[in-house]
Amino acid sequence: MKIRIGTGIDFHQLKEGRDFWIGGIKIPHYQGAMGHSDADVLLHAICDALLGALCLGDIGKHFPDTDNAFKNIDSKILLKKCYEMILEKGFQLINIDSTICLEKPKINPYVLEMRKVIAQVLEVSIEDISIKATTAEKLGFIGREEGVMAYATVLITQK
């Protein structure tokens, strides 16, 4: 049995007046992430982790911000497309472990819904999706509420 590990990280600037999408759900907040797509930092980190596990490049290679086809696209679509690439190579997901880093809003009330959405997109069990959250303790761009960051690690196995 062949197994592979992939890691992903993503950052987005926060700006007033934007919708705030994380983990495939819209979270009420006065700021949202800036980006070419819906700027879902968690789903982007998971995409990069999946792609990295099989040396397929990164999300920017497959969905460049210079292509208007991806302007304001729902990142769940990007996640689905990335996972289809993994399946086409004969692999499947074992699990995801991820962390969101931001000061506000508190993410814990939304984690279960995010896990459900991601599990549904990837057609896996919710028990295979871990999402944690932390603050930057008021340090740096995250602490000043100027941005958001997410990390993801995936484990995949050959079918």
Read off the pLDDT band of 1 (50, 70, 90). confident
Q: Domain segments of the chain: what residues?
A: 3-158
Number of neighbours of residue 103 by Cβ within 10 angstroms = 19
Q: Which CATH number fits domain 3-158: 3.40.50.150, 3.40.220.10, 1.25.40.10, 3.30.1330.50?
A: 3.30.1330.50
110, with CB counted inside 10 A (0-12, 13-18, 19+), is buried
pTM: 0.96
Order across the sheet with 129-134: list the strands.
31-33, 3-16, 147-158, 91-101, 129-134
- Which tokens in the block code for residue 42? 């968690």
pLDDT surpasses 80 at 48: yes
